[in-house]
């Protein structure tokens, strides 16, 4: 389960800002943020179990990220890995909308997901829950484990904290975004969604930063892309507190 907070042309001087937590079982093997040997233009972490990734960037202004759609009743055993959808887009050159249109006939083969893709033509959202492909207009968005902008407490709180943080800064830094991602406030029971997991787990999953038994926020990532195309990305891996930081020309 994950949280992605998005400012798309929502702050002067910046094309895109992303603050994202990756939540996963502690036992799932993972490689941290880095350039991939076989496709050096891709900068992403890696799920070593299935070979995909949850979020990353690549040359020519390509960005991709995915979240699971939480509904235990819909889980299909043997479904293909959703992380490969992100991997394949980042490793390829197909325009984002074309990639999604080509993908749409087979998305029901996968367990529930939300997919964000960006390239030089814009930022797009797709979910296999409705089949929608949506070109996003400039603004602020939040995505967790339901549909885009579903008003879950963590999403609403995250967007509020992010906007408050960024509106105080004329030149925000990754640390400004990362600060928001460490918030551990648990939502009141009356505000919790009902997603098919026990109440105790709805509580565990309700903060921006999750720390549950055997499961939680594995890493936090901040991405800032200026209008010039210069990108600054930072990832913190919480198991050891390590920090990885990269500066690059996103459009090259």
Question: Does position 101 have pLDDT exceeding 80, yes or no?
Answer: yes
Domains of the chain by start residue, with CATH: 2-249 (3.60.60.10)
Q: How confident is the model at residue 1 (pLDDT cuts 50, 70, 90)?
A: low
Global model pTM greater than 0.95: yes
How are strands ordered across the β-sheet holding 113-119? Answer: 30-35, 43-47, 55-58, 62-68, 113-119, 122-127, 133-135
Q: How confident is the model at residue 209 (pLDDT cuts 50, 70, 90)?
A: very high
Q: Which residue shows structure tokens 């990353």?
A: 56
Question: Does position 252 have pLDDT exceeding 90, yes or no?
Answer: no
| Residue 168 pLDDT | 83
Question: Does position 141 have pLDDT exceeding 90, yes or no?
Answer: yes
Going by C-alpha positions, the residue among 234, 233, 222, 228 that lies closest to residue 7 is 222
Question: Does position 184 have pLDDT exceeding 70, yes or no?
Answer: yes
Q: What is the pLDDT of residues 216-251, one digit of tens each?
A: 999 999 999 999 999 999 999 999 999 999 999 998
Q: What is the pLDDT of residues 67-94, one digit of tens each?
A: 999 999 999 999 999 999 999 999 999 9
- How many alpha carbons lie under 13 Å from residue 108 in its C-beta half-sphere? 4
Give the C-alpha distances (Å, rounded to integers) separating 200 from 24, 54, 187, 192, 204: 17, 26, 12, 11, 6
């Amino acid at each position: 389960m994950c949280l992605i907070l998005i400012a798309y042309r929502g702050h002067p001087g910046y094309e895109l800002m992303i603050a994202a937590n990756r939540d996963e079982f502690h036992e799932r093997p993972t490689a941290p943020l880095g350039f991939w040997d076989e496709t050096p233009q891709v900068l992403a972490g890696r799920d070593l179990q299935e070979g995909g990734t949850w979020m990353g960037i690549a040359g020519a202004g390509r960005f991709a990220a995915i979240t699971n759609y939480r509904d235990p009743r819909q889980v299909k055993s043997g479904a293909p890995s959703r992380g490969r959808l992100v991997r394949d887009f980042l490793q390829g050159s197909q325009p984002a909308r074309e990639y999604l249109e080509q993908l749409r006939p087979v998305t029901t083969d996968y367990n529930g997901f939300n997919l964000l893709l960006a390239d030089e033509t814009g930022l797009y959202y797709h979910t296999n829950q409705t089949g929608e492909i949506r070109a996003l207009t400039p603004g602020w968005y939040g995505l967790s484990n339901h549909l885009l902008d579903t008003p879950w407490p963590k999403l609403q709180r995250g967007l509020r904290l992010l906007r408050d943080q960024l509106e105080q800064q004329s030149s925000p830094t990754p640390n400004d975004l990362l600060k928001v991602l460490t918030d551990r406030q648990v939502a009141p029971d009356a505000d919790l969604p009902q997603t098919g997991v026990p109440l105790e787990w709805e509580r565990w999953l309700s903060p921006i930063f999750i720390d549950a038994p055997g499961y939680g926020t594995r890493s936090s990532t901040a991405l800032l892309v200026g209008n010039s195309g210069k990108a600054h990305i930072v990832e913190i891996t919480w198991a050891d507190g390590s920090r990885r930081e990269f500066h690059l020309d996103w459009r090259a």
